[in-house]
Structure 1
Amino acid sequence: MDNALRLLTLFREHEKVRLSDAREFLGVAHSTAHRLLAMLAYHGFVRQEPDSKVYVAGPMLVEIGLAAVRNMDIRLHARPVLEELAEWAGETVHLVGLEGASVRYLDAVESPKSLRVAARTGTTLAANCTASGKALLAALSRSEVEALFPADRPLPGETERSITDPAALLAELDRVRERGYAVNEEESEDGVASVAVAVPGLRGRPVAALAVSAPLSRLPAERVQAVAAHLHEEAERLALRAGLTPDRS
């Protein structure tokens, strides 16, 4: 595995890599270098040009690079949206991305109130325990969700109110799809509630989620709907700013 990862770094410096280049770079036998390149090609990280037999970056490696760029771009475009949302709501607002069965908090603007939800920028939580995670999971197919959360094992929990039953999570995601937003009442932290919507992206796959988090007492049911409606507007605006959806004006 170490040699395979080292070999990938060679494509950062060279557009085309020959088998002899890989062998010399790693200091391994010809057969070992060939096996490693074949494995990377099988998984789409590199591809071999049929005529010259040299190796170039494959679709998976290109996609990883593009994903990193998109994540940097979405944070850049999201910052003014987060600031305006936080001012409108008076509560802490997060930009959140999905990483497998977890979510990562990419950026945040904290509420100015003394009693507030702290920014979680850089941290990760189980996706099933957060409003943002449920908003993002709801955009996946049932089979994709089941692959992340197998039915034969309990889900991770953060509090006593966390959804830890796979079947209950699937039912909750159906509700999220029906109403168009996700909620979290003390599922990730006692006394904290959140509302989240997905930010639409290319090919119908969301790139992130916007979430408003507040002490439970400041997010009653009647306010949740108003916050969700405003989040939808801001999510569409963010997607437009980032060039993820066409301008229909």
Structure 2
Amino acid sequence: MGRLVPAVTRALDILELFLEGDGTLTAPDIVRRLHLPRTTVHELVATLTARSYLVPVPGRPGHYRLGVRPYQLGSRYAEQLDLAAEGQQVARSVAQTCDETVHVAILEDTDVIYVAKVDSTQAVRMVSAAGRRLPAHCTAVGKMLLACLTADELAARVPEGAELHGMTPHSITDPSALRAELERVAERGTAVEESESNPDVSCVAAPVRDRSGRVVAALSVSVPLVRWSAERRAELEELARSGAARLSERLGHRGL
């Protein structure tokens, strides 16, 4: 890697300050927080303002906020994002941590479609494939995605009295029971499946958000029952949360 240019580094440090708080700062704020000379800050702020990276806040003399140029750059970056490619990279990282099978899936009507997958290296493991489609109500990723729908969206997909086909004796097949489970998922922030799509596998999942905060996918970790326990479930729920948060960040989500 080549030598870093100090002036560019300082300018980027200034821009990144605007990601915090209410998104407005004065030059003295920047001087105090970055410990830079006052003259240097004023010159950099003037340059960033001239290039539309910063703009003065109307009615608040001396205050600045981000301008249109960072938004344009962010929009171009978002256009180039590929959920499957980004998901595959994060899934690989999660799988390396726990050595279990990791999936990223999206919701299509009442099914989930796996768009990324990394296998465990262990002898006993889940066998699946990217591109596979399964009933959402039978999977952790599906329950996570269904739980993030509005009431109207859920009713359109799973109306009262709908016939839900099970994949194992443990699958939820009653719409009312499914709604109760989805309420628990929404409250907990993660979904759990215990032998509901495969009698020999349990799974945990967490939501993946895009830059607007919308849930666009779910990341899951699947475990054969021989390695499943309450302690392992808690470990993997936290790992799924952190993996989903990393993927969300790669998709432009800034978090709460």
Q: Is the 8 A contact 1:136 1:209 kept in 2?
A: yes
TM norm structure 2: 0.66
Structure 1 position 207 matched with structure 2 position 216:
yes
Q: Distance in 2 between matches of 1:105 and 1:117?
A: 14
Letter in 2 for 1:237: R
Give 3-state SS (helix, strand or coil) of 2:221's partner: strand
**1:147 matched to 2:174:** no
Between the aligned partners of 1:236 and 1:204, the Cα distance in structure 2 is: 11
What is the identity percentage for the equivalent residue pairs of Structure 1 and Structure 2?
Answer: 42
Which stretch has the larger CA shift, 213-222 or 69-78? 69-78
Note the 1:25-40 alignment, pairs <5 A: none
Q: Partner of 2:82: helix, strand, or coil?
A: helix
Amino acid of the structure 2 residue aligned with 1:198: P
Q: Is the 8 A contact 1:109 1:119 kept in 2?
A: no
Count of residue correspondences: 180
Give the alignment partner of residue 129 of structure 1, picking from 138, 142, 147: 138
Instruction: Provide closer, same or farther for how the CA distance between residues 163 and 71 of structure 1 changes in structure 2, counting only shifts above 3 A.
Output: farther
Give 1:203 deviation, angstroms. 3.8
The CA deviation string for residues 209-230 of structure 1, in whole angstroms up to 9 with x for no partner, is 1010111231212211221112
2:200 alignment counterpart: 191
Partner residue of 1:82? 91
In structure 2, the residue corresponding to 1:156 is in which secondary structure? coil
Once the two structures are overlaid, the 10-residue window that deviates more, 195-204 or 176-185, is 195-204
Paired residue type of 2:110: A
From 166, 170, 174, the equivalent of 2:179 is 170
The match for 2:4 is none
TM-score (norm: length of structure 1)? 0.68
Matched position secondary structure for 1:207: strand
Residue 70 of structure 1, CA deviation: 7.2
1:246 aligns with 2:221: no
Would you say the 8 A contact 1:94–1:119 is kept in 2?
no
Letter in 2 for 1:84: S
What stretches of structure 1 of length at least 5 have no aligned partner? 1-68
Contact 1:82–1:95 (Cα < 8 Å) also in 2: yes
Q: How does 1:21-100 map to 2 (within 5 A)?
A: 73-100=82-109
Task: Give the corresponding residue for 1:39.
Answer: none
Q: Is the 8 A contact 1:142 1:170 kept in 2?
A: no
Q: Which residue of 1 aligns with 2:240?
A: 231
Q: CA RMSD in A?
A: 2.1
Please state how far the C-alpha of 1:137 moved relative to its aligned partner: 0.7
Q: Distance in 2 between matches of 1:129 and 1:139?
A: 16
Contact 2:185–2:191, Cα closer than 8 Å, also in 1: yes
